[in-house]
Amino acid sequence: MGFYYYNYTYFLWMLPAILLTAFAQMKVQSTFRRYSRVHCLRGCTGAQAAETVAYYGGVRGLQIRRIGGSLTDNFDPRNNTISLSQDVYDSASISAVGVAAHEAGHSIQTAQGYLPNRIRTAIVPATQFASRLSFPLIFIGLILPVQYSFVVNLGILLFSIAVLFQLVTLPVEFNASARALRSLDETNLLTSDELNGARKVLSAAAMTYVAASFTALLQLVRLLMIASGRRSDDN
């Protein structure tokens, strides 16, 4: 009975999330490539945009560095560092400026104590712990007799923490993009047409977070249905 989690109904249940995730990935890649070929009129690189936007938002002591990979850009609040991929750091394209400004938006959130960002940071350790243990516990619980359903329930509880992290991430990401676009406009780093392109790049990137949250929620509902079904069998 435990292994029916793997049967074809699971894949049918998750199909909308799979399709949405695939679409979001294709959308962000295609949009980034499109606007990476359009250079900004003022010639501002991604690194310069990140520095300007962060400073405009009140961030001081920020470090900006190159990293490898593609679309691996991130902000680390532990050392106040923005890491930009090669395609972003040196590029003066609309895509590069938009992505770099988004990461600068995260640095501003940290500097200003943006509440959802503080919540997300606070639950990172619990999320890492829960992510490692949730599915092993669920799988073990499904193998065990029904009277050990508490093992499944514990795994689902831990997985719920990971789902919460995904949901809290949404306002953090949307807010970082909003801060970025507003700062790019107010500092005149981009023209109005270029700003519209940057908005499309960041909107496409935001879809990946929406897809991740939707996937996590569907998984949680599925797991709750499995747990409920086991309790019904026990009765």
The pTM assigned to this predicted structure is: 0.89
Q: How high is the pLDDT of residue 4? A: 44
Sign of the CA dihedral with 55 first, then 56, 59, and 65 last: negative
Q: Residue-wise pLDDT tens for the chain (235 aa)?
A: 444 445 667 778 889 999 999 999 999 999 999 999 999 999 999 999 999 999 999 999 999 999 999 889 999 999 999 999 999 999 999 999 999 999 999 999 999 999 999 999 999 999 999 999 999 999 898 888 877 889 999 999 999 999 999 999 999 999 999 999 999 999 999 999 999 999 999 999 999 999 999 999 999 999 998 888 766 655 5
CB 64 within 8 A of CB 46: no
Long-range contacts of 182-188 (CB under 8 A, 24+ apart): 183/52, 183/53, 183/56, 183/57, 183/101, 183/104, 183/105, 183/108, 184/49, 184/53, 184/97, 184/98, 184/101, 186/56, 187/52, 187/53, 187/56, 188/42
Helix (H, G, I), strand (E, B) or coil at 76: strand
The catalytic residues are 103
CB 57 within 8 A of CB 216: no
Q: How high is the pLDDT of residue 149? A: 85
CA distance 205 to 202: 5
